Amino acid sequence: MSRELTHYVGGKHVKGTSGRFGDVYNPSTGEIQSTVPLAGATEVEAAIATAQAAHPDWAATNPQRRARILHRFVDLVNKNMDELAALLTSEHGKTFADSKGDFARGLEVVEYCAGAPQLLKGEFSDGVGAGIDVHSMRQSLGVVAGITPFNFPAMIPLWKAGPALAAGNTYILKPSERDPSVPLRLAELFTEAGLPDGVFNVVNGDKEAVDALTADPRIQAIGFVGSTPIAKSLYAAAAAEGKRAQCFGGAKNHLVIMPDADMDMVADALIGSGYGSAGERCMAISVAIPVGEATADALVAKLKERIAGLRVGDGMDPDSDFGPVVAASAKARIEDYIQLGTDEGAELVIDGRGLSIPGHENGFWIGPTLFDHVTETMRIYREEIFGPVLCVVRAQDYEEALRLPSEHQYGNGVSIFTRDGDTARDFSSRVQVGMVGVNIPIPVPVSYYSFGGWKASGFGDLNQHGADAFRFYTKTKTVTTRWPSGIREGASFTMPEGS
């Protein structure tokens, strides 16, 4: 019997009423473990009304009190970490250790947001004219919505809710319908931490719920993370409704290997960043660009050696390096791309198709896959595969290696491995990508910097977390004040003359 999940509105679980449900799988067994309600417009509207009613009191709560609730929330998540990480693994498939990382990177942002009293401070200019001062203040927007992907069901909701709540907004999260249980648990823990009812709500659903959120004039801002076609169309739809929006999309992250790089370090970095979490990370490295044939030959040899030792298996098995992909449809899509790569003429060095794990024969497995001699015209290079597939594109020189990520449609992350500071500095400065690593394979910035890709990886002008998030989730009011001279000059015994 599968469990029926709910929404979470006004501080309690609410059953779905649309009559539509989605199946939630355990990707490791291929079994349906629960059903998730897919909200219709009426359910979305009820949640918005609840969040709207909760907004005035929450906005008027002083920022330090709001921050204390965030602190208590962080403590509660840490206290329940094992249970939460196991729940995440059961719906997503990533390893238990990686699930803990999913929470940890989300909590770092919530911790940063607990500094909201500082981050929300406005500006003040004294004496901009005779007796005139100007100050600005940051005020909450009202009800804001987050629409999040399956691949980080803890981290990305927290990246969005942390700053939104700290700034005094109330929040509606529409998480991925593939792994909704962790977002529901986060909502319970917010309540346990003392967050007033209606401040953080979860509405489960699909396109219908997203459309209802986008159309509703009470929603002031939309924060989206997911695939590029949806990011782009949602950005346009939100703008047409006069909402602010930040919509982050897909990726194709390159790692450039200069001939002077430490090749063992590079191979280890590529194995972790290419195959970790079955390649289902927006910052996964999916393209390796060795510079020069000798570098490429050495790299491919080292990758082959290491891939042979990788273990794919159930996420709760501590020996697994990575788990299954999230869904049968994802497995089919990735397998189609592997076939496409061979049809396009790339050299399939290691084929991850056809993997079966004893005892988990119906799981959504794909083994580590390696292509060599991929060229920039091939679709396996141009498109996001979002699976454990690494493509080697051989560059003849540094300029070609710099040009490839710069001209690619996506611009999320990129890395260079080299021992030469001058090359690294030139690369960081000239490459047309939003986040850059130097001898770091996955350059996800810490919470007090911001996260955001360029080109087709991000639509909108402000990034996630860091100070940008507070700019996104607040509106600025500027007050110009003149105080006519008062009684400090003492009593006046004559009638003032007009000017």
Non-local (6+) Cβ contacts of 342 within 8 A are: 348
Question: Which H helix or E strand runs over 21?
Answer: strand 21-26
Under rule CB under 6 A, residue 148 binds ligand NAD: yes
Residue closest to 177 by CA, chosen among 149, 200, 157: 149
427 binds ligand NAD (CB under 6 A): no
Least Å distance between CB 350 and ligand NAD? 23
Under the binding rule (CB under 6 A), the answer on residue 251 touching ligand NAD is yes
Cα 58 from chain centroid (whole Å):
25
Q: How many CB atoms lie within 10 A of CB 129?
A: 9
Q: Are 32 and 177 in contact (CB under 8 A)?
A: no
Which of the following is catalytic: 113, 247, 282, 391? 282
Measured from the CB of residue 386, what is the shortest distance to ligand NAD in angstroms?
5
Are 299 and 289 a contacting pair, CB within 8 Å? no
Give me the sign of the Cα torsion angle 352, 433, 210, 382. negative
Could you tell me the smallest distance in angstroms from the CB atom of residue 374 to ligand NAD?
A: 19
Tokens 């939460």 locate to: 84
Asked if 453 is part of the footprint of ligand NAD (rule: CB under 6 A), the reply reads: yes
Distance CA(275)–CA(368), nearest Å, equals 6
Binding residue for ligand NAD, selected from 230, 270, 380, 402, defined by CB under 6 A: 230
386, 417, 459, 473: which one contacts ligand NAD (CB under 6 A)? Answer: 386
| Contact indicator for 413, 283 with CB cutoff of 8 Å | yes
Q: CB of residue 187 vs ligand NAD: minimum separation in angstroms?
A: 16
Under the binding rule (CB under 6 A), the answer on residue 412 touching ligand NAD is: yes
Amino acid in the structure at residue 306? R
Candidates 25-33, 222-230, 340-348, 491-499; binding stretch for ligand NAD (CB under 6 A) = 222-230
C-alpha 306/C-alpha 286 separation (Å) is 16
Q: Does residue 225 interact with ligand NAD by CB under 6 A?
A: yes
Count of residues engaged in binding ligand NAD, rule: CB under 6 A? 27
Which of residues 340 and 444 has its CB atom nearest to ligand NAD in the complex? 444
Locate the DSSP E strands across 253-303: 253-257, 285-290
Q: Does 248 bind ligand NAD (CB under 6 A)?
A: yes
Helix (H) / strand (E) containing 6: none
Nearest to ligand NAD of 142, 223 (CB atom): 223
Residue from the set 63, 249, 405, 413 that interacts with ligand NAD by CB under 6 A: 249
Among 60, 207, 483, 493, binds ligand NAD (CB under 6 A): 207
The whole-angstrom separation of Cα 19 and Cα 3 is 15
- Annotated catalytic, 391? no
394, 337 contact by CB (below 8 A):
no
- 210 makes contact with ligand NAD (CB under 6 A): yes
Torsion-angle region of 421 (φ positive above 0: left; ψ -120 to 50: alpha; else: beta) = alpha
Find the binder of ligand NAD among 108, 177, 314, 321 (CB under 6 A).
177
Least Å from the CB of residue 334 to ligand NAD: 12
User: Binder to ligand NAD among 43, 98, 108, 384 (CB under 6 A)?
Assistant: 384
Residue from the set 26, 90, 140, 151 that interacts with ligand NAD by CB under 6 A: 151
Rule CB under 6 A: is residue 468 a binding residue for ligand NAD? no
Instruction: Show the CA angle centred on residue 451, arms to residues 468 and 419, nearest 5°.
Output: 130
The contact set with ligand NAD (CB under 6 A) reads: 147-152, 174, 176-177, 206-207, 210, 225-227, 230, 234, 248-251, 282, 384, 386, 412, 453, 457
- Catalytic residue list: 282
